[in-house]
Chain A
Amino acid sequence: MSSPSDHHHVMPVRTYLNVFGALLVLTVLTVVVAFFDLGPLNVAVAVTIASAKAYVVLLYFMHVRYSNRIIWLTAAAGFVWFVLMLALTLSDYATRGWLPYPEAW
């Protein structure tokens, strides 16, 4: 039943500490950025930092980096579906202004 890929990959504690450090730095960055008004980039920057954190957690804490390809596919599917949800929802919000509002008769 078990194949080599089923075995747990043992990671050194150092890696976990490094990842923890990276997450702390990114959190501080989020807070610092919040003090600057970047205009339309506010959301973009916040989402980028949050995505980077999620990516690190996924790869190291959740061991995806050391898992087999079917796990990669599963993780990627979740991400692709999330993007799909945003993209098609935005197809509504981004195009609502394209038509002028009708005037009263």
Chain B
Amino acid sequence: MTKSRTHYLNVNHTVGSWLFTVDHKRIGLMYLGTILFFFLLGGIAAVLFRVELMTPGSTLMESETYNRLFTMHGITMIFFFLVPSIPAVLGNFLLPIMLGAKDLAFPKLNLASWYVFTIGGLLGLGSIIFGGVDTGWTFYTPYSSTYANSQVILAALGIFIAGFASIMTGLNFIVTIHKMRAPGLTWFRLPLFVWAHYATSIIIILGTPVIAITILLVAIERIFQVGIFDPALGGDPVLFQHLFWFYSHPAVYIMILPGMGVISEIIACFSRKRIFGYKVVAMSSLAIAILGFFVWGHHMFVSSQSMYAGMVFSILSFLVAIPSAIKVFNWTATLYGGSIKLDTPMLYALGFIGLFTIGGLTGLFLATMAINIHVHDTYFVVAHFHYVMVGGMVMAFFGGLHFWWPKMTGRHFSEMLGRITAVVIFIGFNLTFFPQFIVGYLGMPRRYHIYPEEFQIFHVLSTAGAAVLAVGYLLMAAYLFHSLILGKRSSRNPWKAIGLEWTIPSPPPTENFIDTPVVDYEAYDYSLERAYEDDEEDHS
């Protein structure tokens, strides 16, 4: 037992060693810091407009400010937090380790992606500092073109640049999964986390260029007066919506698929069972990735889109529910007869299953053309996508962060506080967003801060929930930070999980594996003794 083992964190302490690192684990942590900053920023915006929404009138701010706050919330949360969250942090950290590799295929490209993302993020930040954007995160024309009176170009440029970071990460993942699997690690022995990231990377590579081109077209129209989206110049504003949603609907799956990968890992570990229907769950990720590209027109039922196109998109949207349902049913089937332990990551995973199911099923309401017309652009839509994005993706992100925290930092967080916080967040989340389903159904439109008095009770409930949610997040920040300094040292495999990442020390050495591992077992084979063997590793 040595006093201090060398690992990726203590191998070098200089700032330069971080800024010029090509170690996927360090880059993952740099991404973590960056996206948490944007999460905080988007969260502050949300708190501010939720307080404003407690009263039916305009109390704290003017409409102009309100518009800029909800746009800031949307842009930062989607493009600078949710899209990179799991892939760039947990994916970056874990994917090479799960494959038995020493790093990603292109380590320098990986570092470049962080710089590109940060530059994009800074431009986005600049757009906020210089006055903000008032178009909503969707940048619909003509708000973003003919009638733009805010920092549209700066924000769009930031998103354009951050998109390239996504492409770099996606490309890196695909090549790494194809080329760098350990001996014996066949495609159907891969952890479902890897399958989910493979599917996500495909969407990123096929979809992201389209949003980049679309943003470029907006810029070309404004600068050179070429008619693309502006009817006065011979363009069509609805074309923007087609191009925007061609990327942005699949982007929902970019955000949720990695979360589903995390959930598969957690469910298997805390049920001590192989994921029920492993192959089908793996394939359902690819099915979601592909079908996700066929459904974008369901955002446009009340635009001037043809009714016939609407019918096609409505039917296709129902199809994408099938692979999502396969996952939910198979996770539930995995739980059946499992020896379930309700540790912190598992609480988040169970929360995910319930909340994602509500989010997904209300998506079917919205894909139904007649119902869509009733609830279009109401709080019903807001509640729906927050159930998927926050109830689904953010829950999965925090579940994964807790699950792999001992691996990443070598420290344990307080399990008791972890469980309490998971419950607080679950309650806060539902209190925030469930009333929004009701008030939306009753007719409260999104993106307005002045509303009829009969809706006030729902907004008060929602704001109260947001406060509970904020307490949960702050509590989590506090005990995770505390664990970094005073947390109990973690062993190699604190959860007794199966997977290559649990065979190496916590925190891992820079090169991950001293000897290339050979995989002669299936994923999640919890019948293996290695899951229960005593951990003789040094607690260095």
A residues near B, CB below 8 A?
1, 70, 77-78, 81, 84-85, 88-89, 91-96, 98-99
- CB B217 to nearest CB in A, in angstroms, measures 14
A92, B210: Cβ atoms under 8 Å?
A: no
CB atoms of B309 and A91 under 8 A apart:
yes
Would A78 and B294 count as touching, CB distance under 8 A? no
Tell me what chain A mostly uses at the interface: helix, strand, loop, or mixed. helix
Which residues 193-209 of B sit at the A interface, judged by CB distance below 8 A?
202, 206
Assembly CA distance A94 to B210 (angstroms): 21
B residues 283-307 touching A (CB-CB < 8 Å):
293-294, 296-297, 300, 304-307
The answer on a CB contact under 8 Å between B210 and A91 is no
* Pair A99/B297 contact, Cβ less than 8 Å: no
Q: Does B3 contact A (CB under 8 A)?
A: no
Minimal Cβ-Cβ distance residue in B for A85: B246
With A85-B210, A85-B246 given, is the CB distance from A91 to B312 under 8 Å? yes
B13 within 8 A of A: no
Known: A70-B178, A89-B242. A84 touches B306 (CB 8 A): no
Q: Which residues of A contact B242 (CB under 8 A)?
A: 89, 92
Q: Is the CB of B206 within 8 A of A96?
A: no
Min CB distance, A15 to chain B, in Å?
28
Please report B residues at the A interface, Cβ cutoff 8 Å. 178-179, 202, 206, 210, 238-239, 242-243, 246, 293-294, 296-297, 300, 304-309, 312-313
Are B306 and A91 neighbours in the complex by a CB distance under 8 Å? Answer: yes
Chain A residues, CB < 8 A from B308: 91, 95, 98
Interface pairs (10), CB distance under 8 Å: A81-B206, A85-B246, A91-B306, A92-B306, A92-B309, A93-B306, A94-B306, A95-B307, A95-B309, A96-B306
Question: Smallest CB-CB separation from B305: which chain A residue?
Answer: A92
For residue A78, which residues in chain B have a CB less than 8 angstroms away from its CB? 206
With A and B bound together, what is the CA distance between A91 and B178 in angstroms? 36
Which residue on chain A has the smallest CB distance to residue B307?
Answer: A99
A96 CA to B312 CA in the complex, in Å? 13
Q: Please name all residues of chain B whose beta carbon is closer than 8 Å to the beta carbon of A99 when the two chains form the complex.
A: 306-307
Given contacts A85-B210, A88-B294, 18 further A-B contacts (CB under 8 A): A1-B179, A70-B178, A77-B206, A78-B206, A81-B293, A84-B294, A85-B243, A89-B243, A89-B246, A91-B297, A91-B306, A91-B312, A92-B238, A92-B297, A92-B309, A95-B309, A96-B304, A99-B306
Nearest chain-B residue to A1 (Cβ)?
A: B179
Inside 8 A of A88's CB, which chain B residues have their CB?
A: 294, 296-297, 309, 312-313
Of the candidates A78, A88, A96, the one having the most CB atoms from chain B within 10 angstroms of its own CB is: A88
Contacts of B306 in A (CB 8 A): 91-96, 98-99
Chain A residue at minimum C-beta to C-beta distance from B294: A88
Tell me the smallest distance from the CB of B451 to a CB of chain A, in Å: 30
Complex-state Cα separation, A84 to B249, whole angstroms: 14
Cα of A88 to Cα of B239 in the assembled complex, Å: 12
State in angstroms the CA–CA spacing of A70 and B307 once bound together.
39
A34 to chain B, nearest CB (A): 18
CA distance A9 to B313 in the complex (A): 44
Best-surrounded residue of B206, B294, B312, B313 (most CB of chain A within 10 A): B206
Report Cα–Cα, A101/B361, bound state, in Å.
34
In angstroms, Cα B312 to Cα A91, docked, is 8
The 8 closest A-B pairs by CB, nearest first: A92-B309, A95-B308, A95-B306, A91-B309, A96-B306, A89-B242, A81-B206, A92-B305
- Cβ–Cβ < 8 Å partners of A1 in chain B: 179
